[in-house]
């Protein structure tokens, strides 16, 4: 029975579930320590603050993925994480999903750090979620002979474009963070490849994507530090 449970757990979307549990736990912590819309509470729980990053608090390029501002913020992101994150995890595997989720958050927060506005505090999982959109878009490019991947890639490209247009019209939304996460997810799935995948595009694609991701992140960190 225990072995069956372990096997089912390994086959489930357990990384997505653990991330969602941690995100909800942080939100409850925010609520109990002063409210999730309090700037000081957000800072205490790890929101992105550019001035603090410059002072050496580099972890604020990752921890904002767990921090949310208000109930609707975590509800929408949590819903998206559960359904899209679960689907991506089933498709690409647990460790690839975890790497892409958190590294997309990193690239998104780095782009926000380097190019974003003057918002004192920013937070949310949308940097990582846009990275998942980027995964689907990239798979449509990699497997351009597959009708399913082509169509799914186009659908997520339209979804990402719609969201970015909405970002431009709305206030208080970190569009640079979304773009950085999207680019990160796109490059990372090419770099990591799918389980058992033999890239028709060649190993050069993986190397180029890996170097490109690292170079972009390094440049954005440098740019943010000298702004």
What are the structural domains, with CATH classification, of the chain? 2-226 (1.20.1540.10)
Summarize pLDDT for 88-145 with one digit per residue, the tens: 999 999 999 999 999 999 999 999 999 986 567 899 999 999 999 999 999 998 887 8
Q: Residue 186 and residue 28: Cα distance in Å, rounded? A: 32
**Nearest-angstrom CA–CA distance, 26 and 125:** 12
Average pLDDT over residues 39-51: 95
Mean pLDDT of the chain: 90
Q: How high is the pLDDT of residue 2?
A: 63
More confident residue, 104 or 3: 104
CA 160 – CA 156 distance, rounded (Å): 6
* Nearest partner of 129 among 76, 60, 90, judged by Cα: 76
Contact 134, 186 (CB under 8 A): yes
pLDDT, mean of residues 59-83 = 95
Structure-block tokens of residue 96: 């690839």
CA distances from 55 to 49, 134, 216 (A): 10, 31, 21
Catalytic residue numbers read 126, 178
What is the predicted pLDDT for the residue at 82? 95
Q: How confident is the model at residue 8 (pLDDT cuts 50, 70, 90)?
A: low
- Please report which residue ranges of 116-202 form alpha helices under DSSP H: 126-142, 147-169, 175-192
Dihedral sign for Cα atoms in the order 67, 69, 71, 76: negative
Give residues with Cβ within 8 angstroms of 149, minimum separation 6: 139, 140, 142, 143
Tokens of 88: 């991506």
Q: How far apart are CA 170 and CA 99, in angstroms?
A: 30
Q: Tokens for 18?
A: 């653990």
Helix, strand, coil percentages (3-state) for the chain, rounded to 5, are 75, 0, 20
* pLDDT given for residue 9 in this prediction: 60
pLDDT at 7 over 80: no
pLDDT at position 83: 93
210-223 confidence digits (pLDDT tens): 999 999 999 999 99
Which has more confidence, 194 or 157? 157
Q: What is the pLDDT of residue 137?
A: 95
Distances (CA, A) of 41 to 3, 38, 123: 42, 5, 12
Rounded to whole angstroms, how far apart are CA atoms 59 and 39? 18
**Mean pLDDT lowest among 10-19, 106-115, 151-160, 164-173:** 164-173
Whole-number Å distance between alpha carbons of 7 and 193: 24
The mean pLDDT of 156-182, rounded to a whole number, is 89
Say if residue 1's pLDDT is above 70. no
Q: Extract the tokens encoding 154.
A: 């186009």
């Amino acid at each position: 029975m225990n072995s069956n449970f372990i096997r089912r757990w390994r086959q489930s979307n357990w990384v997505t579930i653990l991330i969602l549990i941690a995100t909800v736990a942080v939100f409850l912590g925010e609520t109990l320590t002063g409210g999730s819309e309090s700037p000081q509470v957000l800072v205490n729980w790890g929101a992105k603050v550019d001035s603090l990053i410059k002072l050496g608090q580099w972890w604020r390029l990752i921890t904002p993925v767990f921090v949310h501002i208000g109930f609707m913020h975590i509800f929408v992101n949590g819903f998206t994480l559960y359904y899209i994150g679960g689907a991506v995890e089933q498709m690409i595997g647990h460790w690839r999903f975890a790497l892409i989720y958190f590294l997309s958050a990193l690239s998104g927060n780095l782009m926000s750090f380097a190019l974003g506005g003057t918002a004192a505090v920013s937070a949310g999982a949308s940097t990582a979620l846009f990275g998942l959109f980027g995964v689907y878009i990239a798979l449509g490019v990699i497997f351009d002979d597959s009708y399913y991947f082509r169509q799914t890639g186009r659908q997520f490209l339209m979804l990402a474009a719609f969201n970015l247009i909405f970002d431009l019209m709305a206030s208080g939304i970190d569009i640079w963070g979304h773009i950085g996460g999207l680019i990160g997810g796109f490059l990372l799935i090419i770099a990591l490849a799918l389980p058992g995948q033999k890239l028709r595009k060649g190993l050069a694609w993986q190397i180029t994507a890996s170097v490109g991701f690292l170079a972009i992140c390094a440049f954005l960190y440098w740019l943010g530090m000298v702004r």
